[in-house]
Structure 1
C-alpha cells in the first residue's frame, strides 16, 4: 500500500454535544486533500481514540472511507492494550473497507519485547490489510526496540512503522535492517527532514492539518537535492510544529483548524480546550505561515 510522504493523523470532529460530527468529516478530508495530505489515520491518538467507543470507531472508519471516496488511503487506528479487543476491532475496520491498519504499542501494561512481538503478530494474522506499527514510548511507557520491529518486518502484511521515539539512532537501525519495501515514518513533526536524511519515507503528522503543503514542498526540495531550500522551509515551519504541542494534543491543532475556518469542535475530557493565552500563541504561529483556507 502506497500511502505517500505526508500522512495526517486526523482529528475526530465533534459537534456541540460532543458527539462525532459526521458531516464535518468530509469537510475536513476535502481540506486536507487540498492542502498536501497523502493519506489519513483515523481513530488514532490525535483522533482521541481513548475516548471513542467501539461503535463510534466503527462508524468513524466507515464514514471516513465514504468521504475519502478513494481519493487517498484511509488507515484505521485500531490499537489498544488488549490483544483480543484489538484483533476484533481490526476485523471490524477491515469490514468498513479501510485501506490499512495502524497499531500502537500496548499502553499501561508495559509488555516485554517478546510480548510486543506476539501481540502484533497475532493481530496481523487476523487481517489481510497492511499493518503500520506505532512506537510512541512517551504515551505507552514501553519502547519497541529496533530488534522487535526488525523481527516483525518479516511478517508479510506488517509493512511500515510510525517511529515516535524521537531517537534517530533507533530509526537508523530499523531502516538499515528491514526489507527495502518496509517503510519507516517519523511520528515527530519537527524530525521530518532529519528523518528523511537517514532514509525515512515521510511523516505521520499532526501539523500537516495546517501546513501539509509546506511539508510537501520541503520534502520535494529535499528529494530534488535542494538541501538549502528544504532546510529553509524546515526552519520556518518548526515553530508552528512546536505550537501544535503547547498543550495536550489535539487541543492545539483543533484550535488551529478553527483559525483556518475548519470547525472540528472541542475535545473530550480529560482533555480541555486551550486557554486564551494558548490560543494567541497558536494564532501568531499560524500568521507567520499562510492565509486561512477558504471553504
Structure 2
C-alpha cells in the first residue's frame, strides 16, 4: 500500500470556496477504479496551507469514509511546530488511516539535529506509520541522507517522499538505509529514473489526471519492463512538466475540471485561478497526451 502510484490528491472546492464533497467522492472512485495504490489526503497538492484545522480533519475522515477500505489513506500531518504536528497526528490515532506524511518544518529552517529531534518526537507520540517528506524548494529546509538514516532506526518511520528531483539521493539513501525503508519520489518528471535506481514508487501530482497511466508506469517499473515504462513516461512527460507551469495545484485543478473530475477549479487566496495562457497550455497538453 506504500508502493507504486500514490496520488497527492487535490481538494475540490465549490465556487464559494467550501469543500466540494460530491467531487471528492468522484475523485476517490476514479482512483479506486484506475489502479492508484493509495491516497495522500491533505498534502501540499491538497492545499493544506489554506485549510483550517477542522477542515483538515474533516477531509481526511470523509476520504476514509468514502474509500470504505477500497484504497489506503495517508494523512498529511506536517507542521513547522513540533507540538502542532504531534497534536494533528494524534487526532488520527485509531482513525483507520494507514500512516502519515510529515513535511520538514518550513520557514524556521532547523538544522539537522533539529530535524532529527522533530521527527523523532512525532514518531514517538504515536503508533501510526510515518513517511518523511522532503521538499526543500517549498520549505527552505533539506533533510540530508545521514539524518534520514538516523530516523530510519525508529520503528514507525518507514520511508521518505524525496521531492528534490536529485537522483543522486537515491543511491546515497540506499547506501545508508536497509532495503525495507521506502524511497518514494515526489517528482513526477524523474520518478521513473528514481524507481529504476531503487525507489519503490511515487507520490504523484500527475496521477490526479492520469491515474491509470501512472499506475501502469509504476507496475512496468516494478516488474523490470523499463523499455515499455520509458515509452509511456515519454508520453506523459509534457504533463509532468506543464502541471507546474504555475504554482501547484493551480494547473492540476484546472486539468481535473477540464476532464470532468471536479465541478470547479476554485482556489483559495493567495492561490489564484490558472491564467488564460496557462489554460491554453494545459488544454493542449491534455489533448497531446490523449486524455482530452
TM-score (norm 2): 0.96
Aligned twin of 1:177: 176
Q: CA distance change for structure 1 residues 176 and 222 in 2, over 3 Å: closer, same or farther?
A: same
Task: Give the alignment of 1:30-41 within 5 angstroms.
Answer: 30-41=29-40
Q: Quick one: distance in 1 between partners of 2:257 and 2:195? A: 30
Deviation per CA, 1:53-108, whole angstroms, max 9, x where unpaired?
11111111110100111111101101010100110000012253322101000000
- Of 16-25 and 119-128, deviating more is 16-25
Aligned twin of 2:284: 284
CA deviation after TM superposition for structure 1 residue 264, in Å: 5.5
Q: Quick one: distance in 1 between partners of 2:41 and 2:226? A: 32
Runs (4+) of structure 1 exceeding 6 A deviation are: none
Q: CA distance change for structure 1 residues 264 and 120 in 2, over 3 Å: closer, same or farther?
A: farther
Gaps (5+ residues) in structure 1? none
- Of 134-143 and 206-215, deviating more is 206-215
User: What is the total number of aligned residue pairs between the two structures?
Assistant: 291
For the 8 Å contact 1:12–1:264, the answer to whether it is kept is: no
Gaps (5+ residues) in structure 2? none
Aligned twin of 1:274: 274
- Of 88-97 and 6-15, deviating more is 88-97
CA deviation after TM superposition for structure 1 residue 3, in Å: 2.3
Task: Give the alignment of 1:67-86 within 5 angstroms.
Answer: 67-86=66-85
Q: Quick one: distance in 2 between partners of 1:31 and 1:224? A: 24
Q: Which secondary structure does the structure 1 equivalent of 2:244 belong to?
A: coil
Deviation per CA, 1:117-172, whole angstroms, max 9, x where unpaired?
00000011111111000000000101100001111000000001000111111222
Aligned twin of 1:164: 163
Q: Quick one: distance in 2 between partners of 1:105 and 1:264? A: 33
Task: Give the alignment of 1:206-245 within 5 angstroms.
Answer: 206-245=205-244
Task: Give the alignment of 1:1-295 within 5 angstroms.
Answer: 2-263=1-262, 265=264, 266-291=266-291
Q: Which secondary structure does the structure 2 equivalent of 1:279 belong to?
A: helix
CA deviation after TM superposition for structure 1 residue 15, in Å: 1.1
Deviation per CA, 1:167-199, whole angstroms, max 9, x where unpaired?
111222112221221100010001111001110
Q: Which secondary structure does the structure 2 equivalent of 1:216 belong to?
A: helix
For the 8 Å contact 2:159–2:181, the answer to whether it is kept is: yes
Deviation per CA, 1:243-269, whole angstroms, max 9, x where unpaired?
110100111001111111111531111
Q: CA distance change for structure 1 residues 291 and 164 in 2, over 3 Å: closer, same or farther?
A: closer
For the 8 Å contact 1:58–1:96, the answer to whether it is kept is: no
For the 8 Å contact 2:3–2:202, the answer to whether it is kept is: no
CA deviation after TM superposition for structure 1 residue 280, in Å: 1.2
Q: Quick one: distance in 1 between partners of 2:3 and 2:28? A: 16
Q: CA distance change for structure 1 residues 19 and 96 in 2, over 3 Å: closer, same or farther?
A: farther
Q: Quick one: distance in 2 between partners of 1:36 and 1:285? A: 22
Quote the RMSD (CA, aligned, Å). Answer: 1.3
Q: Which secondary structure does the structure 1 equivalent of 2:93 belong to?
A: helix
For the 8 Å contact 1:36–1:208, the answer to whether it is kept is: no
Q: CA distance change for structure 1 residues 71 and 95 in 2, over 3 Å: closer, same or farther?
A: same
For the 8 Å contact 2:200–2:222, the answer to whether it is kept is: no
